Copies of this chain bind each other. A is one copy, B any other.
């Protein structure tokens, strides 16, 4: 099987940075998974004794706690400070931005609209910085049923797609006197998405490598499916099914922003064997 890699794929700046931070801070805890990739989390635990702690309450004083790329809610951060733990902030700078914007805009009286998934850790963190209850919408349809004020500030989960943000922005502009739009979508995601859009139109089969709970990986998979009916999402080479490749000649590969290179290489090698 011939293989073609997407122009851009895999780790973004924020994830690379977080992993470097974790490797430099052996024997520390991360509050929730550092990144959305179970395999990489296991590697960090095995090689660096960086362990995942899900519950902020049970962190003990004097521990070193790494704040993961998605950030954590403001009150959890306050709790950590109270406990006098050593805080190592690996929050992606692109995630800190919407947190700061929401804090400032809500203080200035803007109604906050967050385009994102209310249950995603990044969004939970961003929500916590609003001094008034924000509207969190995953789509234009969800926004249309809401009561809107005159002055709106709109931010996006960093991994969302620009066209969907524009739909939401357009609705707000048509219905509100002032809409202050902060395009907090990360380009890395966009670049990976564009590369999948391009590649999936020229191959027989697309394989997206990434964690099944990773939002940006799922989006790559959705884009791939749009243009290539035979698109598959795998966490590593073990998920590959040889029957998928029967009668195919060219396989495109891309990977989510939290997928380490060593996993991608494993998938690539296995596919080349088919």
Contact = CB atoms under 8 A, between A and B. Distances in A.
Nearest to A183: B173
Contacts of A182: 177-178
A172 to B, nearest CB: 8
A165 interface: yes
A179 B183 contact: yes
Interface residues of A, number: 15
A166 B174 contact: yes
A107 interface: no
Determine which residue in A169, A176, A179, A181 has the highest number of CB atoms from chain B within 10 A of its CB, and name it: A181
Interface in A172-211: 173-174, 176-183
Contacts of A169: 169-170, 173, 181
A31 to B, nearest CB: 29
A180 B183 contact: no
A162 interface: yes
Nearest to A166: B170
Interface string A248-263: 0000000000000000
Interface in A76-103: none
Contacts of A166: 170, 173-174
21 contacts: A162-B174, A165-B173, A166-B170, A166-B174, A169-B169, A169-B170, A169-B173, A169-B181, A170-B170, A173-B183, A174-B183, A176-B183, A177-B182, A177-B183, A178-B181, A178-B183, A179-B180, A179-B183, A180-B180, A180-B181, A181-B181
